[in-house]
Structure 1
Amino acid sequence: MRKISPWVKPTLEYGPLLLFFVAYWLLRDSSIIIGGAEYSGFMAATLIFVPVAVASTLVLWRLTGKLSVMQAMTAVLLLVFGGLSLWLNDPRFFKMKPTIIYLIFAGLLGTGWLLGRNWLQLVMGEALPMRAEGWRVLTGRLIGLFLGLAVLNEIVWRTMSEAAWVNFKTFGLTAILFAFFIAQSGLYQRYAVTGDEPGPGPVPPPS
């Protein structure tokens, strides 16, 4: 993986989300006409967000030479569900996207967890060296988090206002993920690979 400036990666990952937030609040009371169809401000913000987010993922891939499975899958699902929302002029597909993503992530990690494979290490192993036991514990906790986020997203978009969901998507989900990983500091220390013991070694790819 090629090294890039520390600010480039978070800018490419979170910049499109902030752009979506700003675009929504600027356009929320407006509507635009495309091909004879009228689109709400929410759909206009989605139309801006989808290509920018996909382009940012491609730029990150170009700069680093690598994308994680989660990053690639998120980009594909964004194209699918964002495209469906825009094609059908129905925001529900875009709002359901986080639910689908979190359920898929939980399913993939759960499969690896049951098979005794540290698939999470494939994504985070370089940045967070831990022993195998630590990865198994973290994987179990992350499965629970993803399932909880999937349920929470469904509750928010189905029962709250559109503006509330936009705020939740932009700041709520991000804050929960950050808080989760910060809260695992004790786990990182407990299972950290020290200088006098061998590292976890390469993880075999899923068979």
Structure 2
Amino acid sequence: MTEGLIETKSDAKRLLPLVKLVLELGPLALFFFANAYADRFGYAENQRIYVATALFIVATLVALSISYGLIRKLPIMPLVSGVVVVVFGGLTLFLQNDMFIKLKPTIVNAMFGLVLLGGLYFRKPLLEIVLDSMFELTDEGWRKLTFRWALFFFVLAILNEVVWRTQTTDFWVAFKVFGIMPLTIVFALAQTPLLLRYDSSKKAEEA
């Protein structure tokens, strides 16, 4: 095992969970603190979200670069999210309209939800690819888990729309950092019984 990496049975390199978490949360944390404290560094209060967005774009690109440098590939979910950050963050800065960066979670989550449901429709559960998962599940397990995650992504998209359209920018930023991530962690942990029930490696051992 190389530092920061984990070797899988197929010899594919994966990031250690802690490294992966830092790379995902780092840009979000910088986004939150920049929005909260940019005015202390001479920026006008109404410019904080734009400073935060600029740093968010840079931090996201740095995180993707580090990830690629470690495993020589870019996981689908961070890559898609990063592209949307750059595009909508760039529009936010260029047009000086924070609506675009606020739409980013809605678009990303709705996109993943649609992709997962589309995969199920064509009988190709895509969750393992989307989440870069290391789980080994039966076909039925993948179908059920994929359907649950698709619905959860749609819930996150709806929540984001409600929050940014009804609350202040500061509240939305806090929700993005301290609301969406904890909800995702709780939801992921709640899937443990399903993961254990449909673990294909255990079923193979029992057979």
Give the match for residue 26 of structure 1.
Answer: 37
| Cα distance, 1:189 vs structure 2 | 0.9
| Cα distance, 1:66 vs structure 2 | 2.1
1:44-83 → structure 2 map (5 Å cutoff)? 44-83=51-90
* One-letter amino acid of the structure 1 residue matched with residue 85 of structure 2: L
| Cα distance, 1:167 vs structure 2 | 0.7
Q: What does the per-residue CA deviation read over 1:160-202, in whole Å, with 9 as the maximum and x for residues that have no partner?
A: 111110110001000111011100111011101234618xxxx
Give the match for residue 177 of structure 1.
Answer: 184
Residue identity (%): 35
Distance 2:54 2:189 in 1: 33
> What SS is found at the alignment partner of 2:119?
helix
Query: 1:84–1:93: 8 Å Cα contact kept in structure 2?
Result: yes
Q: Is residue 163 of structure 1 aligned with residue 158 of structure 2?
A: no
Distance 1:107 1:5 in 2: 28
| Cα distance, 1:15 vs structure 2 | 0.9
Number of residue pairs matched? 194
Q: What does the per-residue CA deviation read over 1:37-94, in whole Å, with 9 as the maximum and x for residues that have no partner?
A: x961111111111111122112111111122222211111111000000010110000
Give the match for residue 117 of structure 1.
Answer: 124
Give the match for residue 16 of structure 1.
Answer: 27
Deviates more, 1:72-81 or 1:19-28: 19-28
Distance 2:132 2:178 in 1: 26
CA RMSD of aligned residues (A): 2.2
Distance 1:29 1:158 in 2: 27
Distance 1:3 1:100 in 2: 27
Q: Is residue 7 of structure 1 aligned with residue 7 of structure 2?
A: no
Of Structure 1 and Structure 2, the greater helix share is in 2
Query: 2:128–2:134: 8 Å Cα contact kept in structure 1?
Result: no
> What SS is found at the alignment partner of 2:13?
coil
Structure 1 pair 126–21 and aligned structure 2 pair: CA distance change class (3 A): closer
Unaligned 5+ residue runs, structure 2? 1-11
* One-letter amino acid of the structure 1 residue matched with residue 64 of structure 2: T
Question: Runs ≥4 in structure 1, deviation > 2 angstroms?
Answer: 1-9, 28-33, 121-126
> What SS is found at the alignment partner of 1:197?
helix
Structure 1 pair 4–73 and aligned structure 2 pair: CA distance change class (3 A): closer
1:118-197 → structure 2 map (5 Å cutoff)? 118-124=125-131, 126-195=133-202, 197=204
Structure 1 pair 5–181 and aligned structure 2 pair: CA distance change class (3 A): closer
Query: 1:39–1:89: 8 Å Cα contact kept in structure 2?
Result: no
Alignment equivalent of 1:100, drawn from 98, 102, 107? 107
Q: What does the per-residue CA deviation read over 1:82-129, in whole Å, with 9 as the maximum and x for residues that have no partner?
A: 000001011000000000001110111111011110211234575111
